[in-house]
Amino acid sequence: MKSYNSFDVAQNQIKEASRILNLNKATVDLLSWPQRELNFTLSVRMDDGQFRVFHASRIQYNTARGPAKGGIRFHSLETIDTVRALACWMTLKTAVVDLPLGGGKGGIACNPGQLSQRELESLSRAYVRACASSLGLHKDVPAPDVNTNPQIMAWMMDEYEAIVQQHHPGVLTDKPMQIGGTQGRRDATARGGVITVREACKSLKIDPGGTFAIQGFGNAGQRAALLHQEMLGGGKLVGVCDSKGGLVNPNGLNAKELVSHKLKTGSVSTFKGGKKVPRDSILELDADILYPAALENSITVDNAHNIKAKIICELANGPTTPEADLILKKNKIHVIPDILASAGGVTVSYFEMVQDGTLDFWEESQVHEKLDKKLTKAYQTVHEAVREKKVHPRLAATIVGVARIAEACELRGWV
């Protein structure tokens, strides 16, 4: 299978959208590269008393529309180009949903599974010490991503506040509720995705209560399994998979029991309610709606021809390769791209920033209502661009995002 550099893919998406928008060369060059990259080396004392060195980064891709916003990943295979691509997509994502934010991303090359809680806390605090001067509610606001969580955000926020000697709960989002987190954040990514599926079903006149499958059963996949049935008036979950294997049942899997089993055992593969299958086969199931919620580059030229779903809702970042996009378009499969489908998380993170800044915290129903309004409008805007520009949805969403970012850059006098 062909390997892809994620940042090359992101840059090509920017350039293709810019060509359609007829942007000048300076604007294209500005949008094709991060505005600021921070690379640093962290030295952390381990439990055995020895020091270990970790390599880390923070990228603020574009801040024309507002402070940088994006997660922090702890992953052993983290590369600078992966972080650049994710920061680029975050910039597009906040623009597509029309949030007053830019985009950023960060990461530490490490395997958190090999670290104790004390080591993990020391590493988290060291990261903040390295980039504290670049963080802040009006500068750059990180959040959790792969292998990070609300507890890590709590440690990081505490370290930042110790440095500046003031309370700044809005400096990081997706924190525990007790120290400035918001209602409605745990399921925000999946909820946003299901909202876009609802709108797609309306536009395409597809019954949302049909069958659906989920590739990847982490937080987003688990929440999607529950919320799809709750929000769309039913639906039959016919297949799921995680890193250890897949499971199918044409008669439907019990989503609540499956989530409970996953949380208890760490895998769906040992659940008794279905037949075991290879994990990659879930993508090719005969299901009306497919949620890719695992890793990037899952849908490729090798399997795109075999996908039978009518709608693909990308809860993962970059799950579809460029060539596969064209195959899906040719086969009239409607893709809700990641920069729209998974924007629920950053939208509710923005709501958390607003609440932290005003010290006025909302009920969960208010968060859900505001999220629904934002994602519904964003879907409709992108769908209109599909019709107007006669392009596939990913390119349409990129056009919407690039146009908004370019306009902000021009108004500021940057280009």
**Domains along the sequence of the chain with CATH:** 6-168 (3.40.50.10860), 188-332 (3.40.50.720)
- As a whole number, the mean pLDDT across the chain is 96
Q: Check residue 84 and give its pLDDT.
A: 96
Helix axes 117-131, 150-164, angle to 10 degrees: 50
Closest CA to 230 of 211, 204, 255: 255
Q: Whole-prediction pTM value?
A: 0.95
pLDDT digits (tens, 9 = 90+) for 164-194: 999 999 999 999 999 999 999 999 999 999 9
Q: Check residue 2 and give its pLDDT.
A: 66
Q: Check residue 1 and give its pLDDT.
A: 56
Decide the pairing of beta strands 103-108 and 68-74.
parallel
Closest CA to 365 of 182, 100, 143, 172: 182
The parts of the chain modelled with pLDDT lower than 50 are: none
**What backbone torsions phi and psi does residue 152 show, to the nearest 5 degrees?**
-65, -40
Confirm whether 105 is a catalytic residue. Answer: yes
Choice among 93, 105, 175, 310 that is catalytic? 105
CA distance 16 to 28: 10
CA distance 265 to 260: 9
Q: Check residue 295 and give its pLDDT.
A: 77
**What backbone torsions phi and psi does residue 74 show, to the nearest 5 degrees?**
-115, 105
Q: Check residue 337 and give its pLDDT.
A: 97
